[in-house]
Amino acid sequence: MSLIHAAPPWWHSAVVYQIYPWSFQDSNGDGIGDLPGIISRLDYLKGTPDSLDIDAIWLSPLYPSPMHDFGYDVMDYCAIDSRFGTLEDFDRLTAEAHRRGIRVVMDLVLNHTSDQHPWFIESRSSRRSEKRDWYYWADGTAHHPPSNWAARFGGSAWTKDKHTGQYYLHSFLPEQPDLNWTNPAVRDAMFGVVRFWLERGVDGFRLDAINWLGKDTSWPDNPRRLAWRSYYRQVHRYDRDQPQAHETLRALRVAVKNYPDTMLVGEASSDTPGGPAAFYGSGTNELHEVFDFRLLRSPWQADVFRRLILESDRAVPGGGWPPIVFSNHDQSRHIDRYGKDGDPVRRARAAALLLFTLRGTPFVYYGEELGLRDGRLRRSDLRDPYTIRYWPWKKGRDPARTPMPWDTSPHAGFTTGTPWLPLSADWRRTNVVQGQRDTGSMLSLYKRLIRVKKGSRALTAGSYEPIDGGPNDCLLFHRRVQTDTHQEAMLVAINFSTHAQTISLPTSASLPQRSGRLVLSTDPQRSEGRWSADRFSLGPEEGMMVEIE
């Protein structure tokens, strides 16, 4: 059970909305989303009675970039790519967002820069360059790179630079050379970048690929194993999750100390002991939040969810706070992933219930609130090198990056030109205008869930408590909080199976009370009313929320 302490940080009760700048709203007809476009859509997110009512936006990278990795290859950390607008547009976005009570979270790519960044151009110019050791350079042997390390996006992690005859390290694309974080000059420069954006008023950072920040610089070979793709044909023992990453994050935490409301949320897709939670640090001296992708990668199965939720919830140390995320710009959308062998819409509705009732900060990926599906793209539509490399064997990332469908006008109101990626096929039925009109839509459900979450101390601050004694294919838990005067509890029941269930919970079940009031169901037909643990029913793939009395 959680006790409420004075003023928890803003992200404990916030809903974060991820905007992929390429795809949210185009304002000038070039088919690419931009900052003036985002500004023109802020009312959709907050500030009017019809708004979603989210609390923060996380913007995938806006920095000048040759866009080999669609902005995750940065050429200049203190500017805005001209495709998206200008620094003035960014300041206007921040001001307009803040005026509505929306915080702004920047994406920060610390592990690597673009090979077009002036630092790398200087570094590669000569072995004696003053910036040579800003990146990792090493000699190979005869025809072999310094180690067998594989790049995340395929091929070797080393590329030989003809000009100086040495290899440089890149954990992702060859156009993304890794920065040498053992060099204090790199740290100073990057922490200068952090201050630059904090001084401009941003409220936090989403830190990219943090578990790559340290390497074993004696370059030992990674142990081999069997797999199809080169990246998985080795155990990533020496190229990821090294102590240096933790040292860097501790220093970063100190560097933002003078900006007390700054949220640091990190992406660590690591499979090391301790999992991503290792990046909260000891005594939570590293990150405030660390993404845990175990649920995102899981099949839609109650027993798997039950185990993973408990594991990841309990792994978060005191002082840390879990982000909850099912979709982002790197994965097929969860309506498609979870929906494979059931009804995708019903499952996405049940997943939405989970997103807003688990302990943590919900992260909504643009379009998810509409029930937007992956785009069905042809080979010639693809833009992302990683998607192209493994197509058609892997679905890749472009299908989840299609433009936001706003209405039924040409190109769904996203652009007056030709969209950079085709719209998802369902845009005429699945768009914002339709979602606003229909009380049974996914959008209406997201709005209700956000409203209920914000009005409930149990849901924003309560502990996560599993309930046992229910059927194996149903997930049952409650959230509970103790205030000075009373206890509040909210129960959640989700039927993962495709058949209806009638449930009688045994008297031994760990429940605060055995009766309550049905607050919300993911089935638009079901009406609210009394609820009893002695006997209640759940339709196929239905989820419900009950206020325990």
Please identify every residue annotated as catalytic. 208, 267
Single out the segment in contact with ligand TEU by CB under 6 A; choices: 191-199, 325-333, 471-479, 501-509. Answer: 325-333
Alpha-carbon 462 to chain mean position:
22
Closest CA to 308 of 335, 281, 276: 276
Q: Which of 11, 20, 34, 400 binds Ca ion (CB under 5 A)?
A: 34
Which element (helix H / strand E) includes 302? helix 302-315
Site for ligand TEU in 396-415 (CB under 6 A): 397
Contacts 24+ apart (CB under 8 A), 167-170: 167/137, 167/138, 167/139, 167/140, 168/124, 168/135, 168/136, 168/137, 169/135, 169/136, 169/138, 169/215, 170/112
Q: Which of 19, 26, 339, 522 binds Ca ion (CB under 5 A)?
A: 26
Q: Cβ closer to Ca ion: 66 or 140?
A: 66
> Is 19 a residue that touches ligand TEU (CB under 6 A)?
no
Structure token digits, residue 200: 């401009």
* Cβ–Cβ under 8 Å, residues 503 and 537: yes
Site string for Ca ion, 410-449 (x = CB under 5 A): ----------------------------------------
Single out the segment in contact with ligand TEU by CB under 6 A; choices: 5-13, 126-134, 326-334, 335-343. Answer: 326-334
> Is 157 a residue that touches ligand TEU (CB under 6 A)?
no
> Is 152 a residue that touches ligand TEU (CB under 6 A)?
yes
Q: Cβ closer to ligand TEU: 362 or 399?
A: 399
Q: Cβ closer to ligand TEU: 18 or 166?
A: 18
What is the residue whose two structure tokens read 């998206």?
A: 84
Beta carbon of residue 57, minimum distance to ligand TEU (angstroms, whole number) = 16
> Is 186 a residue that touches Ca ion (CB under 5 A)?
no
Beta carbon of residue 174, minimum distance to ligand TEU (angstroms, whole number) = 13
Structure letter (DSSP) for residue 143 = T
Structure token digits, residue 328: 């982002």
> Is 69 a residue that touches ligand TEU (CB under 6 A)?
yes
* Cβ–Cβ under 8 Å, residues 500 and 540: yes
Structure token digits, residue 38: 């985002």
- How is the beta sheet containing 263-266 ordered, strand by strand? 289-290, 263-266, 204-207, 103-108, 56-59, 16-19, 361-365, 323-325
Q: Cβ closer to Ca ion: 36 or 155?
A: 36
> Is 109 a residue that touches ligand TEU (CB under 6 A)?
yes
Q: Which of 17, 136, 172, 496 binds ligand TEU (CB under 6 A)?
A: 172
Residues 468, 472, 476, 477: is their CA dihedral positive or negative?
positive
> Is 209 a residue that touches ligand TEU (CB under 6 A)?
yes
> Is 81 a residue that touches Ca ion (CB under 5 A)?
no
- Residue 374 binding: pick among ligand TEU, Ca ion, none (C-beta 5-8 Å cut-off by kind): none
Beta carbon of residue 34, minimum distance to Ca ion (angstroms, whole number) = 4
Which element (helix H / strand E) includes 478? strand 474-482
* Cβ within 8 Å of residue 228, ≥6 positions away: none
Q: How far is CA 489 from CA 126, 283, 312, 478, in A?
A: 64, 28, 21, 7
- Residue 55 binding: pick among Ca ion, ligand TEU, none (C-beta 5-8 Å cut-off by kind): none
> Is 40 a residue that touches Ca ion (CB under 5 A)?
no
* Cβ–Cβ under 8 Å, residues 182 and 137: no
Q: Which of 330, 407, 473, 547 binds ligand TEU (CB under 6 A)?
A: 330
- Residue 407 binding: pick among Ca ion, ligand TEU, none (C-beta 5-8 Å cut-off by kind): none
Q: Cβ closer to ligand TEU: 308 or 433?
A: 308
Closest CA to 212 of 161, 169, 250: 169
Q: Cβ closer to ligand TEU: 385 or 516?
A: 385
* Cβ within 8 Å of residue 49, ≥6 positions away: none
* Cβ–Cβ under 8 Å, residues 459 and 440: no
Q: Cβ closer to Ca ion: 28 or 487?
A: 28
Residues 139, 143, 146, 151: is their CA dihedral positive or negative?
positive
Q: Cβ closer to Ca ion: 28 or 182?
A: 28
Query: Can you tell me whether residue 418 is helix, strand or coil?
Result: coil
- Residue 482 binding: pick among ligand TEU, Ca ion, none (C-beta 5-8 Å cut-off by kind): none
- Residue 68 binding: pick among ligand TEU, Ca ion, none (C-beta 5-8 Å cut-off by kind): none
Interface residues with ligand TEU (CB under 6 A) are 69, 72, 109, 152, 172, 208-209, 267, 269, 329-331, 397
Interface residues with Ca ion (CB under 5 A) are 26, 28, 30, 32, 34
